[in-house]
Structure 1
Amino acid sequence: VVLGHEAVGTIYKIGQKVKGYSLGDRIFVSHHVPCNVCEYCKSGYHTACDTLHKTNYYPGGFAQYIRIPKMNIKYGIHKLPAELSFEEGTFIEPLACAIRGQRIADVQKEDTVLIIGCGVSGILHTQLAKNKGTKRIIVTDINLYRLKIAKKFGADFTLDAKENIPEKLEEINEGKPANKVIVCTGATEAALTALKCVDKGGTILFFAVPDPTIKLPVPINQFWRNEITIKTSYGAAPNDLTKALKILSQKKLKVKDMITHRFSLSETAKGFKVMANAGKSLKVIIEPNQK
């Protein structure tokens, strides 16, 4: 099995029945695409579509060439404008996911947003919230390097996850928890922290979730009484991808600065190790045609 998604590249060959594209076109290809006709798609829940969970391209993105199936050609290809580099194009999908997540959580200018976990997703959420003019953005993580760069990308405050986050949060947020909490890591402790850091009438968005075997002790009576909402967000819909492409083309976010490592195809395993170890890394990309 060849893995890899968030793929961008140049069209090398075109099937006889494929229309609308030319050799040499620079494109982004979504690996999962919805059918756009089922009840879920029509209701706006594209990422719940059964087709989306079955579609893919072959092989995965860690290859010099991939074959794009009919469904992905129909719904998953986006041409890259001249002003958008291939490296910036690798952010289309993750940014689209963040756009969808913040729409679901209804992030507004007047919000105080706590972002738990500042890997690629957390930093994209930080930049996106900053771009909206969100009142206060607070980021927490166990990685001090990532906390440092979170400030560079728009976080107003950063908190070491080893500290008492609920207590520290209230110290910097006028004595209150956050009214929007976005969980961007699957660590169990992150999920538990989120449950303790949301204000009355607030919303927790699980953008990432713990292992399926983990059970979270949700204080349901307290949440019910205080009208706290838990929402989830998975993947991105076609419209989210279009919005992401527009935002990136307009250079509204500093995504190229998020790339810390670049590896050739033969160094893919090394890239995985760097990513798994975290350390002083953020966005790691594979360049299949580089030696």
Structure 2
Amino acid sequence: MPNIEHVTFKHRDMFWEIAADIYFPPNFDDSRHYPTIVVAHPIGSAKEQTSGEIYSARLAEQGFVTVAFDASFQGESGGEPRSIEDPTRRVEDFRHVADYLVTLPYVDADRIGLIGMCGGGGYAINTVMTERRYKAVATITGANYGRVLRETEGSSAAVIEKLEEIAAQRTAEARGADRQVDMGLPESLEQAAEWGITDVDLLGATEYYKTPRGAKPNGVNVTLRSHMSPAYGWDAFHLAEGLLTQPLLVIVGDIPGAFGAYRDGHEIVRRARSEKKELVVIEGWSHYDLYDKDEPVAQAMAKLTPFFTENL
């Protein structure tokens, strides 16, 4: 088991703290400077799930210091109201994590990398375009959250209707109404079957988050409706042709589902300005298989370790 330190640090522009787990490599020596990798959790997830217990832990075993943190308004991090999923705030979190890391004596400030998973992958891509302290970026089944939301509604007219509903809810809350929290998933695989869900991603998410396989107290998969408007107008890949220049590794499974990571992976590798970029398609596995199943995770690690060794 890796050596882990639980830390909190101030979100410098606000009034709350970010909670994170730092994973240390074997024979860690705090007098040395280590390449460091930040691993961002998926939407609806928490640092104790795949970003921490799987990828941060395994990368630490390969000699990196790794950091899994909870997004603001989620998990053990601060911020009110709870359960906000706002891409602009999620991207800002990465800057504050970097602010903290550059103060640690054992972190090599010139060798900090970033991994994002699922929606966290889209956030990671968007972050590195303007946050140059991250020297290399990888995504694992990364998805463009704004695109996912818009496509889920089905048409531009439906998106406008949804935004009108969000606006009405925000007005109601401003006048004293209760907040409306949207549940992201069925409560069980049995309920998913009752609802007629057959999509591989939605079933995979339900199996991961709603069974002992991946369930954790803070991986709640809920969002506060009144604060969802920014996400519908957001594009993770905007300006990638000009601003995304860091070495880029994109890992996806080849079984596509509703969240569109397979398609998004191909798109961002095509669009990125990065001179060093690679798309890795892991055959026979789907979005949620890459979260924790031994074979696809091992294949992902076989690419992640040399990528960050070479580029940090």
**Is TM (by shorter chain) over 0.5?**
no
What is the TM-score with the length of structure 1 in the denominator?
A: 0.32
Higher Cα Rg, which structure: 1
Point out the structure with the larger helix share: 2
